[in-house]
Amino acid sequence: MRKTHILSLAVTAMMLAGCGQGLLGNGGGAQDEAKGPIRLGMLVPQSGSEAAIGPYMTNAAQLAIDEINAKGGVLGRQLQLTAADDACDAQTAVAAANKVVTEGVEVSIGGYCSGATLPTLPVFGKANIPMIIPAANSQELVDQKLKHVFLINGTGTQQAEAAGKWIAKQGATRVALMHDNTSYSKDIAVRTQPMLGDKAVITEAVTPKESDYSANIHNVLQKKPDFVYWTGYFQEGGLIIRQLRQAGFKGSIMVGDGSVSAKLGEIAGPEVDGVFATMTPIPDTLPDAKGWIDSYTKKFGSAPGPYSNQAYDAVRLAAEAISKAGSTDSAKVISALEGINGFTMFSGPLKFTPEHTLSAGGFQILVWKGGKFALQDALS
């Protein structure tokens, strides 16, 4: 009984797939499937050390979904967000991935911490779910060349290039790199080092979630650097900036995109003034995002933050790919994504490279001035 059931399902599925490619190419497959909503899965940290980021991303995704649904949805179906908490932790992330897969998501649009996103790749891969990763950007995510994985944030390599350019422009001669040993952070530091050649005097790893980094800072300052580049997240970043200055460091400090948060300044205190950051466009530095920021603020009662724009774009991109593919069939959505050329996003027109990353990373240099990050140099 059970066997025949599965068999008939398989036959139906084959027929459906056949239909999609054949006569009813325009959305035929989707019409025959359930009329329920298209679920988009989103794993972001809602608890743990990076919990502050989660709402920025889920809110922005919800905003995009509401806008698309108001225009009639995709292929006549409504979009629905299925968010789950990955706590920026590998084990929690895998459990959350399995959960959203069971709930029947069609496309994954989440992923903030690279270390937590990496182990979810095979979970979504096995379930044939395309992944549009809005924020996580370690090179390791695309190193395996998985067909279903797309990054719409600049990669570690692109960020390292931007960092290298800016450090050279600043004329720094002795550069210290500091990272927190997570996949994301170490990736940037390791890729920045060759850009600097013998100007990189030390690469120091710290233990995240601590309060006292005096021992690490002692190591760094012994090498007498004139430029420190921290590639980890904002909680440690704020403490490190403060402790570097208290220990008498007078040179420039730069942080990576994981540290771009208003909290960085609060934690670091007045010492944060003049700190540089490598970052993809944020709502504040986007020239034409004023209306978007207003509608976000109106809807959620607070301003958008880091990665709000990428999460918003991930939803729009998923909707675009599904409607181009004419179905939610994984293979078709993936080839639709690969075929996208010039889709307008906050970061500019989109075209994926063969390894499914942005053809232009779009990293800029921000500087902390007057209580927030502002654009310093677009590096273009």
Partner 1 sequence: MTQLVWNGLFVGSFYALVALGYSMVYGIIKLLNFAHGDLYMLGAFSGFAVLSALGGVSAAMTLPVLLAVLLLTMVSTGLAGVVLERVAYRPLRGAPRLSLLITAVGASFAIEYGMRIVAGPDPQVYPVRLSGTAFEVFGASLTLPQLVLIGVAVVLMVGLHLLVAKTREGRAMRAIALDPRTSSLMGIDVNAVISRTFFIGSALAGAAGVMAGAYYGKIDFLMGFLIGLKAFTAAVIGGIGNIPGTMLGGLVLGLLESFGTYWLGGEWRDVFAFGVLILFLTVRPTGLLGERVTERV
Residues making contact with partner 1 (CB under 8 A): 46-49, 51-52, 54, 181, 204-207, 209-212, 214-216, 218-219, 235, 238-239, 242, 246-248, 263, 266-267, 269
Distances (CA, A) of 291 to 283, 285, 287, 305: 11, 13, 11, 15
Output the smallest distance, CB 267 to partner 1, in A: 5
Minimum Å gap between C-beta 262 and partner 1 is 10
Instruction: Indicate the residue among 242 and 369 with the shorter CB distance to partner 1.
Output: 242
For partner 1, give the closer residue by CB, 192 or 347. Answer: 192
| Identity of the residue, 103 or 210, whose beta carbon is nearer to partner 1 in the bound complex | 210
DSSP state at residue 222:
H
CA dist., res. 44 & res. 2, Å (int): 37
Nearest to partner 1 of 7, 247 (CB atom): 247
* Shortest distance in whole angstroms from residue 208 CB to partner 1: 9
Q: Cβ neighbours of residue 354 under 8 Å, at least 6 residues apart?
A: none
Angle between helices 308-325 and 290-300 (to 10 degrees): 100
Considering beta carbons, is residue 28 or 251 the nearer one to partner 1? 251
Between 44 and 107, name the residue whose CB sits nearer to partner 1: 44
Residue 328 · residue 33 · CB < 8 Å: yes
Non-local (6+) Cβ contacts of 328 within 8 A are 30, 33, 38, 106, 107, 322
Min dist CB 143 to partner 1, Å, is: 21
Residues 80, 105: contact at Cβ < 8 Å? no
Give the shortest CB-249-to-partner 1 separation in angstroms: 11
Question: Which of 52/375 has CB closer to partner 1?
Answer: 52
Tokens coding 35: 């009329």
Nearest-approach distance from CB 87 to partner 1, in angstroms? 10
Closest distance between partner 1 and the C-beta of residue 60, in Å?
A: 18
Contact 243, 270 (CB under 8 A): no
Angle between helices 183-196 and 156-170 (to 10 degrees): 40
Strands 107-108 and 79-85: unpaired
Nearer to partner 1, 174 or 242 (CB): 242
Gap between the Cα atoms of 256 and 182, Å rounded: 13
CA separation (Å) from 169 to 162, 205, 224, 363? Answer: 11, 25, 20, 15
Nearest distance from C-beta of residue 206 to partner 1, angstroms: 5
